[in-house]
Amino acid sequence: MSSTQSNSSANVTFVRPATFFISGFSNIPHSKYYYVFLSLVYVVTVLGNSFITCIIFLARRLHTAKYIVVFHLALSDLCESSALIPKVIDTFLFDNHDISYEACLANMFFIYHFMNMESLTLLVLAYDRLVAICFPLQYHSIITKKTMFLILGVMWIFSVIYFSVLVVLVNRLSLCRSNVVDSYFCDLGLVYKLACNDNSINILMVKINFGLLICTPLILILISYFCIALALLKIAHGAERIKAMKTCTSHLMLVAIGYIPFLSNHIATLTTPMNPNTRLMNNSLTQTIPPMLNPIIYTLKTEEVMQSIKDLYKRNKVNTAKRMKCSRRNSKHKNDRFEPNQL
C-alpha cells in the first residue's frame, strides 16, 4: 500500500493502494492454451460484430428501427469484449498482473457498463418482438427509429450514471486488507470486500445491481414471451403461427446464450463448493462466448440479414463486372487512338 489519506474530522485513516494485483487463474496447468483460446475468441468476436455492423450500415433494407437495436447489440458486444479480453491476455499471458488504482476503476466501469448494455438491449429486442406479434397493425407507429434512438439514449444515460456511482463508491472505502483481487479483472464485488471499514452500502449496491440489471430484464423478457405465446395461440393458421415464431428464434437463442450460463454458474457458486479456478473460468466463458456467438446467430438465423448479404454480394459482383468492362473499353479506345497509321 503506497498511499494513505487521513480524515481528521472522523479520525479515520483511509488506505488507497497505488496498484491492484490481479491474481485469478493461478496454478492452472497449461493455462497458456486457454489464453490463446481467448485470443481466438476475441478475433472471431471482432470480425463477427464488425461484419454485422457493416452489413446493417450498407444494406438499405436493414435501415429499420429493429436493426438499429441489433446494430447497438453488436457494438455493445464488441466494446465489452474489447474492454475485457485484451486486458486478460496482457495480465496472464504476459504476466502483467499489476494495474493502477485509476486503471482498475476504469476497467471495472467499462466492463460492467457494456455488460449492462447487452442485457438491456436484449430486453429492447424482446419489446420489439412483443409489439410485432401482439400489435402488428400498430407496429410501425409504435416502433420507430426515433423511439429506438430515444430508448437507447435513455439506456446509456442510466447505465453511465449508475455505474459511475458504483465505481465512485470505491473511493469511500479504506482498502487496507489487501491489494490482491482474486479474479481475472477488477471485479466490483471483490474490490469492495478488500475494505476494512464499513462496506455495507457497497455490498447492497452490488446486490441491487444483480437484481435490477440481470434478473429484472430476464423476468421482463419472459413476461413478454408469455404474452407472445398467448398471441400465437390465437392465430388460426399454422403456417402463419410458424412464420411468426421464426421471427423470435434468433432473439430467444441470444437470450438463452446470454442468461442461462451466467445464472447457472451463479447458482452453482452459491449452492455447491467449487474450485476457485473453475469458477473464474466459467465466469470468463459466460462473459466472452455470447458476444462471439451473437453475430453468428443473427447472420445465420435471420432471413433479412442473409438476404441482405446476398444482395450486397450480387451488387458488388455487378459493380466489379461493370468496372472491368469499362476498364477494357477505355484500354481499347486508348490503343485505337495511339495506334500508328499503316502504310
- DSSP for 123-166 reads HHHHHHHHHHHHSGGGHHHHS-HHHHHHHHHHHHHHHHHHHHHH
Identify whether 265 is part of a domain: yes
Per-residue confidence (pLDDT) for residue 12, from 0 to 100: 52
* pLDDT at position 116 over 90: yes
Cell of 51: 461484419
The separation between the first and the last C-alpha atoms of the chain, rounded to the nearest angstrom, is 95
* pLDDT at position 342 over 70: no
Number of domains in the chain: 1
Identify whether 332 is part of a domain: no
> Quick one: which of 299, 311, 193 has its CA closest to 253?
299
Per-residue confidence (pLDDT) for residue 44, from 0 to 100: 96
SS3 219: helix
Per-residue confidence (pLDDT) for residue 146, from 0 to 100: 96
Identify whether 329 is part of a domain: no
Residue type, 273: P
User: Do you know the residue count of the chain?
Assistant: 343
Buried-state track 291-318, b at ≥16 Cβ within 10 A, e below 16: bbbbbebbbebbebbeebbeeeeeeeee
CA 163 to chain CA mean position, Å: 16
Per-residue confidence (pLDDT) for residue 335, from 0 to 100: 60
Which structural domain range is residue 146 located in?
A: 18-322
How far is it, in rounded angstroms, from Cα 132 to Cα 247?
A: 9
How far is it, in rounded angstroms, from Cα 322 to Cα 26?
A: 59
Identify whether 343 is part of a domain: no
Backbone Cα Rg of the chain: 26
Sign of CA dihedral 174, 178, 179, 182: negative
Helix (H) or strand (E) holding 225: helix 216-233
Label residue 211 by pLDDT band (50, 70, 90): confident
Identify whether 327 is part of a domain: no
SS3 26: coil
Identify whether 4 is part of a domain: no
> Quick one: which of 39, 27, 20, 96 has its CA closest to 284?
39
Q: What are phi and psi of 236, to 5 degrees?
A: -75, -45
CATH value at residue 270 = 1.20.1070.10
Per-residue confidence (pLDDT) for residue 8, from 0 to 100: 39
Report the mean per-residue pLDDT for the chain: 87
Cell of 238: 399454422
Label residue 10 by pLDDT band (50, 70, 90): very low
Residue type, 27: N
**pTM for this prediction:** 0.88
Identify whether 231 is part of a domain: yes
Q: What is the mean pLDDT of residues 236-254?
A: 82
Q: What is the mean pLDDT of residues 150-155?
A: 97
Q: What is the mean pLDDT of residues 47-67?
A: 93
How far is it, in rounded angstroms, from Cα 74 to Cα 49?
A: 5
Q: Please name every residue paired with 4 in a beta bridge, in sequence order, or none if there are none.
A: 15
Identify whether 336 is part of a domain: no
Question: What are the Cα distances from residue 57, in Å, to 13, 50, 144, 309?
Answer: 54, 10, 17, 12
Label residue 16 by pLDDT band (50, 70, 90): confident
Q: Check: CB of residue 74 under 8 Å from CB of residue 5.
A: no
* pLDDT at position 268 over 90: no
* pLDDT at position 328 over 80: no
